[in-house]
Amino acid sequence: MKYRVALIGCGRISAKHIEAYLANSNDIELAGLCDLIIERAEEKASLYRKQIPDAKLKIYTDHRLMLDELKPDFVTIASETGYHPQISIDSIESGSHVIVEKPMALSTSDALRMIEVSRKAGKKLAVCYQNRFNTASRKLYNAIYANRFGRILHGMIQVRWNRNTEYYKQAPWRGTWELDGGTLMNQCSHGIDLLHWTMGGNVRSVYGATRRYLKPIEAEDFGSAIVEFDTGAVGIIEGTADVFPKNLSENLSIFGEKGTVVLGGLAVNKIETWRFADSETLGETEAEMIKQSEEDPPTVYGFGHTPLFADFIGALRENRDPLVTGEEGYRSVQTILAIYQSTKEGRRVEMPVDFDTRRMSGFFKS
């Protein structure tokens, strides 16, 4: 039996969704595409039909109508971030499971509502943190799961990218408090998710400092934070969209009592350092690990959408949770909102927080 999927939001990232449907076409078929701009939906339909010419697709500009008519088993949502909560809830309430792009929401209350609605309806909700599926990230996670680090002392995520003015002009929602947030919420949310996934425990408190240095946007183009976990470990976050003259790297470093790992490359797609007290016993060398992990994706989006969608299909078939549940997606959203709140109030904030990007409106004066 194949699951029927529909796509809501056919902009820039949606090509990765089409790619993931096609790669998982033994298990799913695309039933409908929806975008407010019909040409965008048509363009993505053509992309799909290049490989499946006889696909029975329907195109829509109203997602509620599409949900009503097609009743898809699941939808994947790639609209502007600020619309994720309402479209997710509409989809779940009409009977579909949901994969929603990252970040899932721009307020803690919206994210919690999405989780509550999906759990109550018995519908699955997954968030597109596809970098968890990179070979390098999976190897790191397995080492943590096997307790090879001993006690984890500190970890650091550094997202050193560049987004030029053209990028923000292409879509006016980018960098707004209403629909996007700044570089922490958009570009860095993958890395902040990986930090939570690999450090273990829960965040207890956050001290943040963000800036809007160069970009013509409302929100920050640089963000930093000290994040204290309830395990006693400390996380350090550094993210920027201002690196001269282009993207430099995204690094995740985990330092434990008995292990040190640094992932790097353009988007945490390579192992750069791999040192463990038990490496010799396991017959594992750093050079081999570096070689095994090399992935060179053409863009920072990487190759992760396909395995993330495959995991979601597995979750449907086996009636289990997907790897990145709504609860998992919530963790990084809450931390980023805590960084915003901490910056606004000039103090360390304790979790849980109840915050919304819209409360930052007007914070950076021009």
Ligand X SMILES: NC(=O)c1ccc[n+]([C@@H]2O[C@H](COP(=O)([O-])OP(=O)(O)OC[C@H]3O[C@@H](n4cnc5c(N)ncnc54)[C@H](O)[C@@H]3O)[C@@H](O)[C@H]2O)c1
Tell me if 188 sits within 8 A of 180, measured CB to CB: no
Task: Give the span between the Cα atoms of 138 and 121, in whole angstroms.
Answer: 31
To the nearest whole angstrom, how small is the minimum distance from the Cβ of residue 236 to ligand X?
Answer: 22
State yes or no: residue 323 binds ligand X (CB under 6 A).
no
Footprint of ligand X on residues 166-185 (CB under 6 A)? 171
Interface with ligand X, residue 130, by CB under 6 A = yes
- DSSP states of 72-97 as a string? -SEEEE-S-GGGHHHHHHHHHHTT-E
Rounded CA gap, 88 and 64, in Å?
Answer: 11
Determine contact, residues 59/33, Cβ cutoff 8 Å: yes
* Contact flag: residue 79 with ligand X (CB under 6 A): yes
Rule CB under 6 A: is residue 200 a binding residue for ligand X? no
Q: Which stretches of 100-134 are DSSP H helices?
A: 108-121
Instruction: Give the range of 43-51, 76-84, 246-254, 284-292 binding ligand X by CB under 6 A.
Output: 76-84
The least CB distance from residue 230 to ligand X, in Å, is: 28
Binding flag, residue 10, ligand X (CB under 6 A): yes
194 neighbors 131 (Cβ within 8 angstroms): yes
**Which residue's CB is nearer to ligand X, number 88 or number 210?**
88
Q: How far is the CB of 205 from ligand X (least distance, A)?
A: 26
Binding range to ligand X, per CB under 6 A, among 48-56, 80-88, 228-236, 343-351: 80-88
Residue (148 or 331) nearer to ligand X, CB: 331
| Cα–Cα dist 47/45, whole Å | 5
- Note whether 17 binds ligand X by CB under 6 A: no
CB of 305 to ligand X, least distance (A): 7
Instruction: Say whether residue 266 binds ligand X (CB under 6 A).
Output: no
Task: Indicate whether 309 belongs to the interface with ligand X (CB under 6 A).
Answer: no
Q: Does 243 bind ligand X (CB under 6 A)?
A: no
Contacts (CB under 6 A) with ligand X, residues 87-106: 87, 101-102
78 versus 333: smaller Cβ distance to ligand X: 78
Residues 24-53, mask of contacts with ligand X (x by CB under 6 A): ----------xxxx--x-------------
Most distant CA atoms of the chain, gap in Å: 60
Q: Least distance to ligand X from the beta carbon of 31, Å? A: 15
Minimum CB separation from ligand X for residue 19, in Å?
A: 12
Q: Single out the residue of 5, 6, 8, 315 in contact with ligand X (rule: CB under 6 A).
A: 8
Rounded distance between C-alpha atoms, residue 321 and residue 303, angstroms: 21
Between CA 317 and CA 315 the distance in angstroms is 6
User: CB 116: neighbour CB atoms within 10 A?
Assistant: 12
Question: What residue has token string 């800036």?
Answer: 211
Is residue 192 near ligand X by the rule CB under 6 A? no
Q: Kindly tell me the burial class for residue 257, based on how many C-beta atoms sit within 10 Å of its own C-beta (0-12, 13-18, 19 or more).
A: exposed
Looking at this protein, which amino acid is placed at residue 301?
Y
Is the Cβ of residue 40 or residue 97 nearer to ligand X in the bound state? 40
192-224: burial string, b at 16+ Cβ within 10 Å, e else: bbbbbbbbbeebebbbbebebeebebbbbbbbb
Chain residues binding ligand X by CB under 6 A are 8-14, 34-37, 40, 63, 78-81, 83, 87, 101-102, 128, 130, 171, 186, 301
